[in-house]
Amino acid sequence: MDCIITIDINTSAVKIHAFDMNGRMLCWKKGSYPTFHPQPDYSEQDPEQIFITTLYILKNLLNEYVHPKKYKVTAICFSSSMHSVLAVDKNGTPLGNAIIWADNRGVKESEALKKHPQGESIFNTTGTPIHPMSPIVKITWIKNHDKARFDQTHKFISLKEYIIKQLTGEYVVDHSIASSTGLFDIHNLKWNQDSLDFAGITADRLSEPLSVFNTNLFLKKEYCFTLGLPAKTTLIIGASDGCLATLGAGIVGSGRATITIGSSGAVRVAGKGVLKDEKNRFFNYLLAEGYYVSGGPTNNGGVVFEWFARQFGDFSEDLDFEDVVNDLFKEAAQVKAGADGLLFLPYLLGERAPLWNANARGMYFGLNISHERKHFVRATLEGILFEMYSIGKTLETHRNFDSIYINGAYASLPLWTQILTDMYGKTIHVNDHHDSVALGTALLGLTQLGVYSNLEAAASTVKSVETYQPNPKNHEIYMKYFEIFERLSHNLKNEFEQIVALQQEL
C-alpha cells in the first residue's frame, strides 16, 4: 500500500506523519528541541540539532511502522515555520544559530525600513509586515551588528532550506516560505530588488525560489541507504506551516476563517486576491500560485501558557508537564468569565498583529486582595485569547466570515475553545484532525500526485467533528473587558518603550 510522509519543522518540535493516499493518518512521531534566549529579545535555535532530530524521528517512523507494514513511500512533503534566518558559509556550515520568528532584536532596523522611501512599496510587493520577525530585518541586523558574519555568509536561508540542503545538497526555497521573508515579490514570483538593496545583499545570496509543488529534488545516496528509501523517492518541497494549516482546516475560499493556536497563533482567511489594509496590519502569504492566505499572527500563543505553567504550576508530586497543565486548566474552569476583574496582557515576546509592537510587554492588571492562583490561570488563558480575538476583530473590517474553524495543538482543549467561542460570539468548529499543518501538507502533496484535481477539491475533504456554541452572557462580559484590554495594549506604548530600555541596560 502506498503512503505519503509529511515533515513539519515547527517552533518546538519536528512532527513527522504518514498518511495513506486518501489523506487518512496512519502514524506519527514527534521530536522536540529547545529555543535559546541568550539575551532579552533574542530567540535562536541550533540548526544541527533540528536536522539530527528530524533525521532520527524520520528513521524511527519508517523503521517502526512504515517498513514493517510494507507501506511504499510514494512521496515526502515538507512544511516549516516561517521567518527563520540562518547564515551559512560557502561549505554550507552554519555561522551560529538560526534566528527564528520570535526574535525581536531588529527593532531599530524595522523602524528604519518603515521610514524608508521604499518601505510601503516593499510591504505591498512582498506581503510581509515590517517587523523584527521578518527575514529582511534580521539580515539587515546581521549586516549592522555582526559585520564579520555578514561578510562570511554565502547564503541566508531558513531552517527548512537547511534541512532540505542537508538531505538533497540543493539550495532551494518554496514560494510560500519565500513570501514570508519581506524579500520576495508575491505578484511576480521573484526576489524583489528594493528589498535586496535595503538588506545589502544580492539574489545569489538567497536560495532559488520554486513552486510549492516542485518535485525536482532527490535524497542523497547516504540518506536513501539510512532511511531504506529508493533513490527516486519523490520529494515535494511543500509550503509554510501557516498556509498549510489553512488548507488543513479546509479553507481556500471566502466566507470562512481559521484560528490556529500552537506555540504562536494566527487568524487567517484565504482567497484568490491579497487583502489590502491602509495601516499595513496584515500579511499576505502564498499558499500556492494564485492562492493567498491573509491575516494576522500573534507571538504569544501556547508558549505563554507553557511559561506560566513552568513558573507557577505545582510539580510537587513529580507530575509531568502535561499533568500540570491539565491541573491548571481545571483551576481555570472554576473561575467565571472575566477572572473576577483580573486582566492579562500576554506580550511576553513583544507582539505582531494587530499591534506590530516588538516592545510590547506582559502585565496583570486589576489585581486585588481577593485574587488567587486560579484567577491568574484564568486571566492568562483569557489574555492569550483576547489577543486572538483582537486580530479577528480587525480582520473582519476587511473580510467577512461567518464560520470559524480552530486547529493547532490547543484546539483539543474544550475550555480553551469555549472561551474563544464566547469572545467571538460565533460558532466555532473543531476539525477532525487537530494537526492541520500535517494534514494540509498531505493534501498539498496528494494534489501534486494527482489524487485531487486541485486544492479546492483537497480542502473539501476536511470535516469538523465538534461544534462549540457561544454563551451570550459570557460574550457580553468579555466585550466589556476587551475594551479595557484593547485600550491598555495601545495606550501603554510609551511605557513599553521605557521598560524595554531599562531591561536592555541590565
Percent of the chain with pLDDT over 70: 100
pLDDT tens per residue across span 337-377? 999 999 999 999 999 999 999 999 999 999 999 999 999 99
- Is it the case that residue 263 has pLDDT exceeding 90? no
For residue 469, the model assigns a pLDDT of 96
Least Cα distance to 459 among 482, 476, 475, 442 occurs for 442
Mean pLDDT computed over every residue of the chain: 95
Q: 229 falls in which pLDDT band (50, 70, 90)?
A: very high
Express each pLDDT in 279-298 by its tens digit: 889 999 999 999 999 999 99
Q: Are the C-beta atoms of residues 88 and 455 closer than 8 Å to each other? A: no
- Residue 433: its pLDDT value, please? 77
Predicted confidence at residue 285, as pLDDT, reads: 98
296: nearest Cα among 254, 240, 356: 356
**pLDDT category, 413, cuts 50, 70, 90?**
confident
pLDDT in tens, 115-168: 999 999 999 999 999 999 999 999 999 999 999 999 999 999 999 999 999 999
* Residue-wise pLDDT tens digits, 184-208: 999 999 999 999 999 999 999 999 9
Residue 251 has pLDDT above 90, yes or no: yes
- Identify the residue with better confidence: 285 or 320: 285
pLDDT of residue 148: 98
At which residue does the C-alpha cell 473580510 appear? 399
d(CA 403, CA 481): 24
d(CA 212, CA 177): 9
Question: For residue 117, what is the enclosing H or E element?
Answer: none
